[in-house]
Amino acid sequence: MDCKSNGMTLTERDFSQSYISGFSRTQAFLRSKGLSAERAEELAQAAWTKGWEARSQLNDSESVLAWVNTIAFNLFRSELRTAKRSPARC
């Protein structure tokens, strides 16, 4: 069922389909920010996990990727802020 038009929350099936088609795109998005392939995969996994946990907040199956990529970008920014605050190691 397409939840976009009837105001229902996103179904597990809709989210799963978005994950299948969008995970590699989230990785590519993070790679475009300069992350290694390994770190991009880790952050993409974290972002999609957070998205899964909060999927009841979303009711448009067509905006899942943008929403998860926003989560991924926020995780990336948090890492940058943390790195700036940490003293450099020699």
Count of CB atoms situated within 10 Å of the CB of 39? 16
The SS3 of residue 50 is helix
Instruction: State the alpha helices, DSSP H only, in 2-86.
Output: 12-31, 37-53, 64-85
Q: 30-44 pLDDT, tens per residue?
A: 999 999 999 999 999
Q: What pTM value is reported for the model?
A: 0.83
Q: 68-88 pLDDT, tens per residue?
A: 999 999 999 999 998 888 776
Distance CA 44, CA 73 (A): 9
Residue the block writes with tokens 């998205």: 51
